[in-house]
Structures are given as structure tokens and as C-alpha cells.
Structure 1
Amino acid sequence: MEWFTAPDYWLSRLVFQRALAGVYLVAFLTAARQFRPLIGERGMLPIPRLLSLTPFRRAPSVFQLHYTDRFFAACAWTGCAVSAALAAGLDSQLPLWGGMLLWLVPWVLYLSIVNVGQTWYAFGWESLLLEVGFLAVFLGNDKVAPPVLVLFLLRWILFRVEFGAGLIKLRGDVCWRKLTCLDFHHETQPMPGPLSWFFHHLPRPLHRVEVAANHVTQLIVPVLLFTPQPIATAAASLMIATQLWLVLSGNFSWLNWITITLALPAIRFPHTPPQVPGPPVWYEVAVLTVAALLLWLSHRPVRNMVSRHQIMNRSFDPLHLVNSYGAFGTVGRIRHEVVLEGTTDAVPREDSDWREYEFRGKPGDPRRWPRQFAPYHLRLDWMMWFAALSPGYAEPWFGALVERLLENDRDTLRLLRSSPFPPDAPPRYVRARLFRYRYTSWRELRETGACWERTFVREYLPPTRLATVAQRP
């Protein structure tokens, strides 16, 4: 079947696969370095407890068969190793079936992690990586030209990512329709980056232009992905440029990078493809079967997109084969932050020696300038942003976090930028307070050197101690 392959997209596939392997590598590295205090055996939301309540069919995972922290670490670091091998092009050195199996390994491992990750892995880019990673298994390697159907399905995912995000904005916060959302968003986004302060202080007319351009990129440009070349290449390139703008303006984990990666197969790079034999019959059957399955399953995200009650970032099956996407249907006008403090005083008073814990990415000390962490995902920092929006987001895990701080738990403290207490002298009490944060003005920045100004709002958690504490001298 001559229509089955598209040799002109040989280089597009190569660039896409190497970029996707890089995203996989970051995802597995994040899991390997953070899982113990979050979902480990002594984590805030332990995997063993989840597995005891969840059947395999609802959360398929290799950890349903066996779980220990050591086994999880082995899986995560194996994912890192396989991702690095894919980024180096090992799949191209294998037979077609061998390359497909190699791409299947990180998908199975990361699916296993996401399905036991609970709140910490409930982000849209987790499902997006799995949906794209599953298709990558069937994209082939140097032994066959890229299959047209898989290239089309990758564009279909990109269309749903962008168009779904555009629709949720138009249906959501009125500021998107008034073109005023970026008057607030750079200040109230989950984790600002080093340039976010400057983006916030851009002239308001330019913010209107940014929002209008976003609507064009998300609601009009995605349709052009299904037009002939070079229009499809121009559309994908414009999406990449928009994502790079978002990379500069904030820390959105690997959301922007996986979206950029997803746009690459739609670009036809100028090159001369090598001559290869036609694809084997078994490969054609496999691709046709998978394509038919995914197109049939797509009716659920399509129905969600056209619904007035559109839902963001939802998976429609436990394998995350098709999902709905979207972000920032509502934009906050005020930024609140939960600040954690501890004291060694025997009796906690307002004038006690309260010392503040500093997080790696989320705002804390008003004089500390935000750093760039994306595509690395600081999961605790992100959830602290949600906790400031509503205590309901914090209910499953916040109490466990405070308990770990009272214990000076080593793994938990590694998630933080710094602890004010030495390892052998944990605090007697920990409390949480809610502050309003706002960006300083140019004048305030020059006078104080602080990029934030914060104001106490209320107590978030009163001074808390462990139920049983060893006697201290």
C-alpha cells in the first residue's frame, strides 16, 4: 500500500522521537528523585495503601504485581536509562519489532507510575505524555518510512490539546473574552519563572495582544494542521513559537515541551529520505488496528470538547489512550501562598522564634527571585499552589507533610530548598499561615530589592505538634 507511508516526513519523525525521549527522561528523573516522600512506603500518599483499595482493571500498573520502594526506584531509573538510549538513537539500530518494543518499555513504566501517583500525578501533561508515547510505539524506525496514519493521529492529538484549551478559555473566565486575563496571570500562575515579573509589567495593551494571539493560535491555527503543505508546517511552527513564549513566561513543567514535541511531526523538514523496503504486513495490520481503535475512542474527548460542560485534563480510560486537555479556564486575580513555619519553643506563641521553610520553586522570601525549573516538575511546589486556592486540595496530604516536617524527615526535606532546623533538632511545633503575594513595582524593586510584597491574611493551620514526642532536654 503506497499510501501507507510518508517518506517526506523521515526527518520529522527522527526529530520528534529524539525530543520525546528527552521528555520521557525528564519525567522519569522527576519520579526517581521525588517518589519516596510523596508516594513511597512512608510517603504522604503511600502506594501500598492505594493498591490495597484499587483493583488492577482501574489502575493497571506493574506495581499491582509487586511494590517496594526499591522496586519503584529500579523502574524509574530503568525508565531514565531506556529514555536516554532512545534519545541516543538505539531504536534505529534494532529491527522494526525491536524498536517498537523498546518504545513500549517507557510507556508501560510511566503508565505504571501515573496510575499509582494519585494527586501528585493528576496533571494533564502526564496523560499527554502517555497518549503521545503510545503512538510513538507504532511510528517505526529507520527500517520503515513513517506511517501516514500515525502522523495524522499525532496531529489529531495536537489539535485536541490546543483547540480544547482554546474552548475552555472562551467558555470559562470572562477575562479571556475581555482580553484582560494576562493582567493577572503572570502574577497568579502556579509557579512563576525568572522572567514572569517582567512579563507582568508589560504594557496592558500588549497583554491584550497576547490574549488575542492566544485565541488565534488555539482556535484557528489548529485547523490548519490538516491542510496541505507548507500551510501545515507554518501552523505547527506558529504553535511552537507560542509554546516557547510560554516557556519564557513561567514554569509549566514539561507541558510546553511535550506540546512542542507534538508539533514536530507536522513540520516537513527539507531532506532526502533514504530508500527502504515497504513495511511488512504485520506492521501494516498493527498500525491500522491501533488507528481504528484510537479513532473510535476519540468520540469521548470530542463529545467533551463540544459540551457546554467541558472538563479539563480528564482521562477516559485507565490506559490514558485518549484524553481531554485544557488549562486556565479560570484565572486568579489574587495570589495566595501557604507559608510553613516551625519553632523549637516549648509553648508556641505569636512572638515565638518562628522560622520559615523555603521551597525550591514556589514564592517564599519576597527578596528571592524565581528560578527556572521547567521542564523538571516540582510536584510539591505545584500542590502548595493548589492548597492556597482551597484547603480541599490539601486535605489528602497536607497533614502528612506537617508530620514529616515535625520529624525532620530527610526525604521530605530534600523536596525543599532549605529547612531552618538542623537534622538533629526538629521543631516542636509547625504552623501554616496564608499570605497574599503581589509583584512589586519597578520603584519598589529598586528601593527594596524584593520582587514580591506579601501581606498576612489568616491562619491556615494552627501550631501543631506530634501526638507523641520524645522528651527533650
Structure 2
Amino acid sequence: DCRDGPSMTFSLLKTETDSADSCRENGADSSRDTDTEKRRESVQTGTFWLTRIVLLRSVAFIYLVAFSVAYNQNKQLIGEHGLMPCKSYLNSVKRYVGGKVGMAALAYTPSILWFLDWDDMDANLDGIALVGMALSAFVLVTGMANMVIMVTLWVLYHSLVNVGQLWYSFGWESQLLETGFLAIFLCPVWTLSQVPRRCPPSLTCIWTFRWLIVRIMLGAGLIKIRGDKCWRDLTCMDYHYETQPVPNPLSYYMHRSPWWFHRFETLSNHFIELIVPFFTFLGRRMCMVNGAIQILFQVVLIVSGNLSFLNWLTIVPSLACFDDASLSFMFRSGGGAKKAVLEIQNEDAAGRTPKPTKGMLIRRVVNISLGILIGFLSIPVVMNLISSRQVMNTSFDPLRIVNTYGAFGSITKERTEVIFQGTLNPDPKDPEAVWEEYQFQCKPGDIYRRPCLISPYHYRLDWLMWFAAFQTYEQSEWVIHIAGRLLSNDSTVLSLLDHNPFQGRDPPRWVRGEHFRYKFSPPGSASAAQGKWWLRKRIGAYFPPVDLEGLRGYFQSRNWPHPHIPPNRS
């Protein structure tokens, strides 16, 4: 019927319109459902559950290295028969505070060694190191930790650092103690769980880590600008690779980079240490940019020199610049910690957050107190940063909770080395005397030996020998102590060396220290073709030839036990 045409047409159009609207609504609902599902399956920004696991494992790794170094070297350095026995040091402190082991002694030198049996100090030192290695290995492998474990690690390492004297005088010791202190507050008190639901990571604690990396980098950058002129005229990197404490094989090649590359390196260093740290305060993305740049910078330093675990340790607070969303790629999907974090985030999104408990409220108070403490202890540190008389690697409190940092404020322009030599000749002035060289574990000596690659491990004696080389033996008396031990083939000290030329033979009658200037051999040169990594030239005597009898008075005046004189030499 023609009269029905317009009505039917309108009806059909209405039906199609309703159908299209319905499809759009269904599509929108489907899109919303898809977005919701994606959110449920992907870790969201703004939480730090996974960040905490990465931080704790990283701190545990550094502790493991540090305690391993302690276990392998402490007996020789500060043990019963070490070069600087910690028992003698503790006795000196005890006399200084009035002859009693009380709060005064503990405040002056915080260490659990005060409460242990001193009759076997080597066993004490080994015990501390072994417990530290075991606990740090547990946290590293499992990613689980609580306050009890982290406090124990911190107290144990404190106990070693505070009696380590010269051997533990490096800036990274305080940096590890500060980092380890902050890590305590990442953990629940008792629970051993990677993702403890009722103990979320404290944003305050995360920011204390970020504040640490800011201070580390600014301290390092400012001490350079205020220090050696070569940092300002951009020439420091012309020398650094060759003259750093313990070069590695890549240092050899980096030293020969073009001049313009060394200028670029120095400018980049200033930008990374003086400008990039402020990215931390410019929002999530810029904070992550800071973290990524700092980590990359530390990796470059790691591969170009043996700087102990310093650069590895500096990576740790940089990790706090990343949240769960940015670190989720490091975790297996569909299980473990990542699954637990997704469940927590979905519960929070649905409003199913756990009701506050008394313990959670106490934890909030603790976190706020941590922020106040770090802020208060940072006052002298910040004042030091802005001071024209800035000092680096200094602690303003006995527990080393907040410290100043810095590295390479001055660059040595030439490398000098102290080489120990011994002879069996009874007359050290005899021109026919054959002087044989001792070799250290890693520091340059034999010009044919390839530079070592040991980071994050390090040899404390080798590092101190670098400092001794641009001082005098009067300023580094322990050098003469080593010479006396070599004269008796002392196994304790010799275990710190790589090569003893008198192994299996009579000990030397005389030992001397020779001073040499070292340079990298040019790649492609005749000397390099002969297998020489180094070229060296004698500067002169570092200390004159010494024998056991001649050292008797020197040792007695310093309360050092006189080395055993072989019967056939008495």
C-alpha cells in the first residue's frame, strides 16, 4: 500500500539507527572491558613492590662482595698477625676511654668485637664475614628479607669497618653503610616474603634512596669543579685511564682515545654529575631518565677500570628512580612476585584494601621518623656541598647514616709505583747483587703482565700501594712493616701477593723499595709487539735496603712484633 511507504521507511530507519547505537554502546563497553582487562594484566605506575625486591637483591649482592673481601683479606690485614691488628687498635681505644668496655668505647668505635673473645680474633673476623656472606647470599637468591636480616648485615659490616683502620678508609665503606641502613626500612620486621601485603614499600624510603644518588653525584661533580684544574680545562681524561688506582685491560685502549673524545668524556661527566641529578625532582619520566643515565654512567666506569664495588654500589640508589611498571620486565609473567603485585593492584583498584592495623600505623610513624632523621642529618652534608671548602667521603655521625661523597677531585698526571725487591746477597751495595721482584695481585709491576679485571672485587693492599707511591715511606710506615714480613717469608703477608720470588727458598737477606714511573706502551709499537703492556723508568729509591736486624728498633718503637729471624741468619 502506497500509504504505508513513508511509515515503513521511517520504521526501518529507526531500527537501523537503534541498531547502530546499540553496536556503538556494545563496542564502547567492549573497549572499556578490554582496557580494564589490560590494566588487570599489566603492572601499574606509582607502586614500588618490585622496586623493593630489586633494591634488596642489589644491596645483598654488594654485601656479599664486601664480606667476601673481608673473609679473604682481613686476617692478613687486621687479624692476630696482620699488618695492623684490630686487637691492638681496640686496646688503644679502650685505654683512651678510661680502660673500660662501656658506652664510651662503643660510641667511639661501634663494633660487636667489643663483646667477643679476643683470644682468637681471627676466628671472630672469619665468623663475622661468613655470617654476612650467608645472609647476603640468602637475600640475593630469594629476594626475601626482613628488618632482622638487614640490621644484622649492617651491624656486622659496621663492626668490620670501624676496626679496619687504614684498610677500610675508602669512601665506598660509608656509602655501603648508608645504603644498607636505608635498606633496613624497605623490609617488614619479621615476615620473609617478597611481597608482604601488609607492609607496602614506603615512598619515604624510596625518596631517601633517590636523595642518596643525588648527593653522591653532586658531591662527585662539585669536588671536581672545585678541585683539579684539568676538570675545568677538560683534560683530566687524558690521564685518568693510565693513572687510576688499578687499571683494567680496557683502560689501556681507552687511554689512547682521540683528544676530542677525552674532552667529550669530561663534559659528559660534568653534565651527568652536576645537571642530571636534578631530573629526580621533575616528575616520574624525568626521574627515570636520571636513573637510566646514572646506571649507564656507572656501567661505563665499571668496564673501564677496577674501582672496587664503588660503581656497582652507586647503581643501587639509582634503581629507586624506577617504579613497578618500569621494572616489571625483569620479572616472570604469570607467577611469583609479579602476579602478587598484580593481585594487590587489582584489589586496590576494586577498593578492597586491607584495614589499617596497629602495626601498619606504627610503620607509618617509623617511615615518617626516617624521613625526619635523614633530613636532619643531611643539614651538615648539604652545607658541605655548598661550601667552597667541600670535603669528600666524610661522616658527620658515628653510625655513618648520612655522609659526604666524592671521587677523583684531583687527577695524578703520571703513574708511579713502589716495587718491592729482595736479594740473597749479604751485601746490598754489591753491584753484582741480584734483586728479585715481588708481584702484587693486581697493581702494575711486571711490565709484561696484562692489567687485571676484578671489579667488583678488590685488593685493599693494592689500592693502598697506589696512595703510597705518591707519598714517602715515612708517611706510609706500614710499607716498612711489609718489608720486615718479606724478610722472614711471612706466609700471612705473602698470601696478599701474587708472586714471591723466594718461594721454597731461604728468605731474602735484604729487601728494598724501588720507585718507578709507569706508562702504557703505545698500541702497535715495538714494545707492545714484544708483549709489554707497560713501559717504566726508575725514579730512585723509595726506601733503602733493610734487613731484619736493622729493623728491630723500628719495629719495637711502633709495638710491631719483630719478624722471626731464621736460625742460620742470627
Partner of 1:16: 55
Q: Within 2, Cα distance between the matches of 1:80 and 1:369?
A: 30
The superposition leaves residues 33-82 of structure 1 with CA deviations (integer Å, 9 ceiling, x where unpaired) of: 10111111211111011111223211110112233111111011110001
Pair 1:57-2:112 in alignment: no
Partner of 1:304: 384
Instruction: Give the one of 201, 205, 209 matched to 2:264.
Output: 209
Q: Is the 8 A contact 1:107 1:133 kept in 2?
A: yes
Residue correspondence of structure 1 range 56-455 to structure 2 within 5 A: 56-66=106-116, 67=118, 68-89=121-142, 91-92=144-145, 99-140=146-187, 142-143=195-196, 144-270=199-325, 271=328, 273=341, 274-275=343-344, 277=354, 280-348=360-428, 349-391=430-472, 395-423=476-504, 425-442=506-523, 443-455=525-537
- What is the DSSP-based 3-state SS (H/G/I as helix, E as strand, rest coil) of the residue aligned with 2:212? helix
Q: Which amino acid aligns with 1:120?
A: W
Q: Which amino acid aligns with 1:329?
A: G
Q: Within 1, Cα distance between the matches of 2:487 and 2:213?
A: 45
| Change beyond 3 A, Cα 1:432–1:299 | same
Q: Which amino acid aligns with 1:81?
A: A
> How many Å apart are 1:243 and its aligned residue?
0.6
Partner of 1:35: 74
- What is the DSSP-based 3-state SS (H/G/I as helix, E as strand, rest coil) of the residue aligned with 1:266? coil
Q: Which amino acid aligns with 1:60?
A: P
Q: Is the 8 A contact 1:315 1:323 kept in 2?
A: yes
- What is the DSSP-based 3-state SS (H/G/I as helix, E as strand, rest coil) of the residue aligned with 1:351? coil
Partner of 2:14: none
The superposition leaves residues 391-420 of structure 1 with CA deviations (integer Å, 9 ceiling, x where unpaired) of: 268524212111111121112111111110
- What is the DSSP-based 3-state SS (H/G/I as helix, E as strand, rest coil) of the residue aligned with 2:108? coil
The superposition leaves residues 135-172 of structure 1 with CA deviations (integer Å, 9 ceiling, x where unpaired) of: 10001252122101110011111111000000000000
- What is the DSSP-based 3-state SS (H/G/I as helix, E as strand, rest coil) of the residue aligned with 1:260? helix
| Change beyond 3 A, Cα 1:345–1:181 | same
Partner of 2:25: none
Q: Which amino acid aligns with 1:62?
A: I
Q: Within 2, Cα distance between the matches of 1:119 and 1:284?
A: 40
With the length of structure 1 as denominator, give the TM-score of the two structures: 0.94
Instruction: Give the one of 525, 528, 538 matched to 1:456.
Output: 538
Q: Within 1, Cα distance between the matches of 2:171 and 2:308?
A: 11
Q: Within 2, Cα distance between the matches of 1:393 and 1:37?
A: 22
Q: Within 1, Cα distance between the matches of 2:157 and 2:211?
A: 22
Q: Which amino acid aligns with 2:289?
A: A
Partner of 1:95: none
Q: Within 2, Cα distance between the matches of 1:447 and 1:65?
A: 58
Q: Is the 8 A contact 2:272 2:294 kept in 1?
A: yes
| Change beyond 3 A, Cα 1:400–1:112 | same
Q: Within 2, Cα distance between the matches of 1:258 and 1:81?
A: 19
> How many Å apart are 1:215 and its aligned residue?
0.4
Q: Which amino acid aligns with 1:313?
A: N
- Percentage of matched positions with identical amino acids: 40
Q: Is the 8 A contact 2:205 2:370 kept in 1?
A: no
Q: Which amino acid aligns with 2:456?
A: P
- What is the DSSP-based 3-state SS (H/G/I as helix, E as strand, rest coil) of the residue aligned with 2:466? helix
Q: Over aligned residue pairs, what C-alpha RMSD do you find?
A: 1.7
> How many Å apart are 1:423 and its aligned residue?
4.2
Q: Is the 8 A contact 1:91 1:102 kept in 2?
A: no
> How many Å apart are 1:447 and its aligned residue?
3.1
Partner of 1:466: 548
> How many Å apart are 1:472 and its aligned residue?
2.2
Q: Within 1, Cα distance between the matches of 2:113 and 2:447?
A: 42
Q: Which amino acid aligns with 2:108?
A: R
Structure 1 unmatched runs, 5+: 1-5, 93-98
Q: Is the 8 A contact 1:383 1:394 kept in 2?
A: no
User: Number of residue pairs matched?
Assistant: 462
> Which deviates more from structure 2 when the two are superposed, residues 236-245 or residues 438-447?
438-447
> How many Å apart are 1:90 and its aligned residue?
6.2
Q: Is the 8 A contact 1:190 1:385 kept in 2?
A: yes
Q: Is the 8 A contact 1:18 1:86 kept in 2?
A: yes
Q: Which amino acid aligns with 1:280?
A: M
> Which deviates more from structure 2 when the two are superposed, residues 386-395 or residues 214-223?
386-395
Q: Within 1, Cα distance between the matches of 2:477 and 2:365?
A: 45
Q: Is the 8 A contact 2:473 2:479 kept in 1?
A: no
- What is the DSSP-based 3-state SS (H/G/I as helix, E as strand, rest coil) of the residue aligned with 1:454? strand
With the length of structure 2 as denominator, give the TM-score of the two structures: 0.79
